[in-house]
Copies of this chain bind each other. A is one copy, B any other.
């Protein structure tokens, strides 16, 4: 067709940086961030991010010609590299999510609960040129640095983030001489900096490490396009508006803060930052700042339900609470609901930029099974959510029974794993992203997640048993505090369920009792053949490390049967 063109007037690479520019224009005087005594407007946040980008850019562009702090010359590099961060949910980390891409660089916010060896491992993979570290994490960072035996040139330059809300401890704490203060960095920057836009909207914007529940964390790389679209999808699915007040209970380093970082700028809403997630902070923020949304891991439900002052003041407005992960017992859910929270349950993963499906829990359903019964729906930007046979790539029948792998196709998907060609290829084989989660399709086409594929137990008929269902039964045993089921080699069945059980303090029980308990509640083939008592190995985010238990189960040797009875 004649007369059609693609030019800068009608085609601009999608990037969430645009949200901040518009927020400064449309919502200039509105509060962008509140953190203790610190308060910024969107105009101020935009200005600070511009200065941050400008300063980062100067460090990259003008070798030896930059302002100095503590008489230290700041190293130089071309900044289209990576900037790492190690900080809790404070304003500086929020600013880095905009300022780093505005300098043309890529941000990787690291898990603050990593130990020095793992931190060292990730830093070596990242090869970040700069790392911005909150004063509380400087010592851990320095310990990690000691473990890296690289040439000095490859070590990241340290920027220390002080915290005026924390009093003297933040500002006087000793830091290495070869470093710069975050505030000093901003002072170096110019307010009228012209931001560096991505050449291609599929250029990377952040590296997001997985939690590593199945091994070493992998660095999922997000693009400007994917984060732009996912930010909009988040707004859409939680019906957020300019009135949204978002409390940062979800880790800002996790999946780029589930993209709420950028979504809040698109909305012109208000971010309530915090250093530690406590019941007091949650309830105070709701009453003082009129929080409308908060998100995070299931532990938040426990924190809320168990707060001594919960319920003393009824919530003035409904608050939306989005939880990703296995739900706690119904009693806790009910308590949280009664306080006035709307609870949403999400299924997702780092690779898919956070949330994939979300559902609002219906508390008119009286039991946990019904509440948990089915998964939510995918967001408006996702192109496909299906359950497929991974060998034939055909959709499994929509019979609510046949198990397949949950697969996704979406513009809100990572570009791949950093420096892991094989991992990326495996994830994207056959034109879909394989989640490694097992699910079924209900007759109306909706999907239900059964388990992580890595946790599934294959019996000799080749059927996949979901360990989640066994774990749910075990969890209802009065003596059981926590449990995890993995497969153990089995002479008859190929593999049979092996239950690892942590008992409540002061409680005792026997393997036989556990097996009988399951026997009356589960089909025969799902009853654990072995039970092991003791503590369960967990990772930095509190997730049980099933891959460790799998090894333990293997070490137990093949389960033998005599006279048709299981030998435990």
1/0 per residue A202-227: CB within 8 Å of B?
10100000000000000001000010
Report B-chain residues with C-beta under 8 Å of the C-beta of A421. Answer: 2-3
Which of A7-15, A66-74, A471-479, A524-532 lies on the face that meets chain B?
A: A7-15
How near does chain B come to A417, taking the closest CB pair, in angstroms?
5
A420 smallest CB distance to B (angstroms): 5
Chain B residues contacting A19 (CB-CB under 8 Å) are: 380
Binary per-residue interface labels of chain A (382-416) against chain B in the complex, 1 for a CB within 8 Å, 0 otherwise: 11000000000000000000000000111101111
- Stretch from A54-62, A231-239, A496-504, A509-517 at the B interface: A231-239
Give the CA-CA distance A433 to B9 in the complex, in Å: 6
Supposing A19-B380, A239-B241 touch, asked if A419 and B9 sit within 8 A by C-beta, the answer is no
Answer whether residue A139 sits at the interface, using C-beta atoms and an 8 A cutoff. no
Residues of B within 8 A of A8 (CB): 409, 431-432
**A556 CB–B CB distance under 8 Å:** no
CB proximity to B under 8 Å, residues A1-38: 1-12, 14, 18-19, 22, 25-26, 28
Question: Measured between alpha carbons, how far is A444 from B25 in the docked complex, in Å?
Answer: 8
Q: Does A328 contact B (CB under 8 A)?
A: no
Could you say which residues of chain B place their CB within 8 Å of the CB of A419?
1-3
A418 at the B interface (CB under 8 A): yes
- A:419-434 near B, CB below 8 Å: 419-421, 423-425, 427-428, 431-433
Chain B residue, CB-CB nearest to A19: B380
CA distance A202 to B1 in the complex (A): 12
Q: For residue A11, which residue of chain B has the nearest CB?
A: B411
Residues of B within 8 A of A382 (CB): 22
**Which listed residue (B6, B236, B378, B411) contacts A235, Cβ 8 A?**
B236
Question: A266 interface residue, CB < 8 Å from B?
Answer: yes
**Which residue on chain B has the smallest CB distance to residue A424?**
B3
Q: Which residues of B contact A418 (CB under 8 A)?
A: 1-4
B2, B11, B409, B415: the one within 8 Å of A6 (CB): B415
**A410: shortest Cβ distance to chain B, in Å?**
7
CB 8 Å contact bits of A230-268 with B (1 = contact, 0 = none): 001001100101000000000000000000000000100
What residues of chain B lie closer than 8 Å to A371, measured between beta carbons? none
**Which residues from chain B contact A415 at a C-beta distance below 8 Å?**
4-6, 10
Q: Is A377 among interface residues, defined by CB-CB distance under 8 A?
A: yes
User: A8-B431, A421-B2 known; A380 and B232 CB under 8 Å?
Assistant: yes
Task: Using A12-B409, A12-B410, A380-B19 as known contacts, say yes or no to A221 and B4 having CB atoms under 8 A apart.
Answer: yes
Q: Are B5 and A445 neighbours in the complex by a CB distance under 8 Å?
A: no
| Residue of B whose beta carbon sits closest to that of A423 | B3
Q: Which residues of B contact A232 (CB under 8 A)?
A: 232, 236, 380
Bound form: Cα–Cα A14–B380 in Å: 12
B204 touches A10 (CB 8 A): no
Contact B22 A431 (CB under 8 A): no
Once A4-B204, A236-B232 are accepted as A-B contacts, the answer to whether A10 and B433 lie under 8 Å apart by CB is yes
What string of 1s and 0s marks CB contacts (under 8 Å) between A126-170 and chain B?
Answer: 000000000000000000000000000000000000000000000
| B409 A9 Cβ-Cβ under 8 A | yes
Instruction: For A417, list chain B residues within 8 Å (CB).
Output: 3
Report chain B residues within 8 Å CB of A221. 1, 3-4
> Does A10 contact B444, Cβ atoms closer than 8 Å?
no
Task: List chain B residues, Cβ under 8 A from A431.
Answer: 7-9
Question: Does A25 contact B413, Cβ atoms closer than 8 Å?
Answer: no
9 contacts between A and B (CB under 8 A): A1-B204, A1-B418, A3-B418, A5-B425, A6-B202, A8-B431, A8-B432, A10-B413, A266-B380
**3 A-B pairs with least C-beta separation:** A10-B413, A4-B415, A8-B431
Residues of A near any B CB (own CB < 8 A): 1-12, 14, 18-19, 22, 25-26, 28, 202, 204, 221, 226, 232, 235-236, 239, 241, 266, 377-378, 380, 382-383, 408-411, 413-421, 423-425, 427-428, 431-433, 444-446
